[in-house]
Amino acid sequence: MDLDDYQRDSAATDLEGDATDPIVPLLGLAGEVGSLLAEFKKKRRPDGHAYSGFDEVVETELGDILWYLAALARRVDVPLGRAAEVNLAKTRARWLSEPGAPQVAFDDGFPGEQRLPRLFEVTFTSYEDEDGRTKVSMHVAGEEVGDPIDDNARYPDHYRFHDVFHLAYAAVLGWSPIFRALLGRKRKSDEAADRAEDGARACATEEAVVALVFEFSKHYDHFAGAERVDDSILNAVKAVTATLEVSARGPGDWERAILLGFAVWRGLRDARGGTVAVDLDRGRLELVG
pLDDT value of position 105: 84
pTM here is 0.80
- CA–CA gap between residue 134 and residue 159 (Å, rounded): 11
- CA–CA gap between residue 219 and residue 122 (Å, rounded): 28
pLDDT value of position 81: 93
pLDDT value of position 99: 58
Q: Give mean pLDDT, residues 52-63.
A: 87
Q: Give mean pLDDT, residues 168-180.
A: 96
Q: pLDDT at residue 204 above 90?
A: yes
Domains of the chain are 3-95 (1.10.287.1080), 112-287 (no CATH)
pLDDT digits (tens, 9 = 90+) for 247-276: 999 899 999 999 999 999 999 999 999 999
Neighbours of 72 (CB within 10 A): 18
Question: Where does residue 65 rank: exposed (0-12), middle (13-18), buried (19+ CB within 10 A)?
Answer: middle
